[in-house]
Every structure is written in C-alpha cells, then in structure tokens.
C-alpha cells in the first residue's frame, strides 16, 4: 500500500508551509537560497578570508548603533553638543551605543585595511576578480569618508577645527576644489547648514553608496567565487609550466642532449595537465 504525503498535521506548521510555498511559487527563493548557501567553495578556504564578512558585519553594527544615535541626535549648531551630552550622560545605555559607534568606526577601518592587505598579498585581485577589487577600493574610500564626516558631528572644538582644516584641504584642490569645498560647507564659510549637511552625507548619502557597493561587491564574489590561497595544493598553470620545464630539462640532461632540443610549450597538453 502506498502512502500519500499530506504534509504536516499541525495547523500552524501547515500555515507556515503554505505561506513559504506561496512566496516560493512567485519568487523562486527556495531554489536560489539553496544554491547560494550550498554552492561549492574551494576546499582550502582560509581563516584570512573571513575579514570581508567581518567588515560587512561591522557596517551592519554601525548602521544599527547609528540609527539609535539618530533617535536622540540633533544636527543643529545650537543643540548638537547638548544632544551628544544627553546621549552620553542621560539616555539609558547611551554611552554604550555612542562608544560602540565610535570604536566600531576604528575597528572597521582596521578590518577593511587588513582585508585589502590580504587580497593584495594573495594576488586575489587578478583575473577574473579585477572589478571585485575596484568596487572594494570604492568601499574603502567611502569608509574613510564616513570617518571624516562623522568626526564633525560630535561638535566639539577639536572636531570642528580639524574639519575646517580638512575641508580647506579639499577646497585647495585645483579646478574642482572650490566647488567641492562649497558643496561640503553648504556655502563659502562654515555656517549653520554645514552641520546638517555633514549629518545628511554621513547618515544618508554615503551609507546608501556603501550598501550599493556592498551589493556589487557581493555579486562579483558570488558570481566569480572566492579565490584559493596562494599555497593551495592545486598548482596554477605558471607553476606547472615551471615544473614541466624543470622535468624536461632533467630528462634532456639524462639523455645527454643538454639544452639542444626544444620541447613543445606546456600549454599544448593542457588537457592532460588538468587531469593530473
């Protein structure tokens, strides 16, 4: 006697299954999700290759703590400092959220630089991952710019004058400099609108850019796959060519033909190499 699968008996389970099936029927999310999670990555993937995910996790943490800070912060020259003092001294856990946001920025920059160093030293930016590197470079620049714009928001003397100097530097660039300075300052001088402009750039413009570029970066990583460590067991073609040349030279020496016979270049028998 054959049994027919009628699904779970529990009505709650039934309901959930129905909703999931409804969404899946229209979006195909089950299949693509399964593909995304269970796609193969090279077996030798190393602990060094966790830094990109860590940078992304820290961006998420900065977003969450930033959203909480934005609930109390007032981007107005007259009230900004007071609202920071309110967050630090009065709001429950406020000092903690502010501390995490501040230290999170430093740790994120350290992690982003370590991530870039790993990719550089491994040569992981080479074909076919050039554009993954370019999108990553954009993310690095945007992360640095986040630090620059966030620094002003605490609205104390040190931050204010450091930002005056930083914006002067931008404004001193040839041709476009004066325009960039005016855009950053919201006018020719630091004024009442400068702070809210920095606030808007810091919490809307650049986070949007970073989220977009994280999306692009991930697209390339998932499409092209994560690179193998340079010490991976599977030798690259250049390495195999070297070994082939060495073997052939040794063979030639044994046969007493010292270097007088040329052999076909190794890529001629690529097919056999891959099997090896």
Partner 1 sequence: MKKADKVAYDKDYAAAKKDGKPFFPYAIYKDTIIAGLAILVVIVLAITVRVEMGEPVNPASTDFLPRPDWYFYFAFELLKIFANQNALTPVIMATFMVPNILIILLVIWPFIDRGPERRIWKRPFAMGTAVLVISGLCYLTFLGASTPEGIAKGETLPLTGLDAAASAGEAVYLANGCSSCHMIKGVGAPGPGPELTNEGAKGWDNAKMVQWMKVPVAPMPSFASLPPEDLENLSTFLNGLGTKYK
Interface of this chain with partner 1, residues 127 to 156, rule: CB under 8 A: 127-130, 133-134, 137-138, 140-141, 144, 147-148, 151, 154-156
* Contact assessment for residue 49 and residue 226, using Cβ atoms and an 8 Å cutoff: yes
* Contact assessment for residue 202 and residue 80, using Cβ atoms and an 8 Å cutoff: no
Q: How far apart are CA 152 and CA 162, in angstroms?
A: 8
Q: How far apart are CA 75 and CA 86, in angstroms?
A: 14
* Stretch binding partner 1 (CB under 8 A), from 10-18, 202-210, 222-230, 243-251: 222-230
Residue closer to partner 1 by CB (options 47, 262) is 47
Interface of this chain with partner 1, residues 27 to 46, rule: CB under 8 A: 36-45
What one-character-per-residue DSSP string does 111-141 give?
HHHHHHHHHHHHTTTSTT-HHHHHHHHHHHH
Please tell me the count of residues contacting partner 1 according to CB under 8 A.
94
Interface of this chain with partner 1, residues 153 to 212, rule: CB under 8 A: 154-162, 164-166, 168-169, 171-174, 177, 190
Q: How far apart are CA 199 and CA 155, in angstroms?
A: 11
The reply on whether position 3 binds partner 1 by CB under 8 A is no
The reply on whether position 85 binds partner 1 by CB under 8 A is yes
Retrieve residue 138's tokens.
């954009």
The reply on whether position 230 binds partner 1 by CB under 8 A is yes
The reply on whether position 63 binds partner 1 by CB under 8 A is no
Q: Please identify which residue in 99, 204, 247, 263 interacts with partner 1, judged by CB under 8 A.
A: 99
């Amino acid at each position: 006697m054959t049994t027919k699968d009628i699904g779970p008996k529990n009505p709650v389970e039934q309901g959930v299954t129905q909703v999931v099936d409804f969404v899946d029927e229209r979006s195909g999310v089950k299949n693509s999700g399964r593909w995304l999670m269970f796609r193969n990555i090279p077996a030798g993937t190393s602990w060094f290759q966790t830094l990109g995910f860590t940078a992304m996790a820290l961006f998420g943490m900065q977003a969450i703590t930033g959203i909480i800070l934005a609930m109390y912060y007032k981007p107005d020259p007259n009230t900004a400092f007071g609202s920071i003092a309110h967050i630090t001294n009065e709001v429950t856990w406020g000092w903690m959220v502010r501390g995490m946001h501040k230290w999170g920025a430093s740790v994120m920059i350290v992690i982003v630089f370590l991530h870039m160093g790993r990719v550089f030293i491994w040569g992981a930016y080479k074909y076919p991952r050039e554009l993954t590197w370019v999108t990553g470079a954009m993310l690095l620049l945007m992360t640095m710019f986040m630090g620059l714009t966030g620094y002003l928001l605490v609205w104390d003397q040190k931050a204010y004058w450091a930002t005056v100097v930083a914006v002067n530097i931008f404004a001193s660039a040839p041709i476009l400099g004066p325009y960039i300075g005016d855009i950053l300052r919201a006018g020719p001088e630091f004024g009442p609108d400068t702070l809210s402009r920095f606030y808007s750039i810091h919490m809307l413009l650049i986070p949007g850019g970073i989220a977009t570029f994280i999306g692009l970066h991930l697209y390339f990583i998932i499409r092209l796959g994560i690179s193998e460590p340079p010490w991976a067991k599977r030798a690259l073609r250049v390495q195999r060519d070297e070994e082939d040349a060495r073997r052939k030279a040794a063979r030639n020496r044994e046969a007493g033909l010292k270097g007088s016979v040329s052999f076909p270049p190794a890529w001629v028998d690529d097919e056999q190499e891959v099997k090896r």
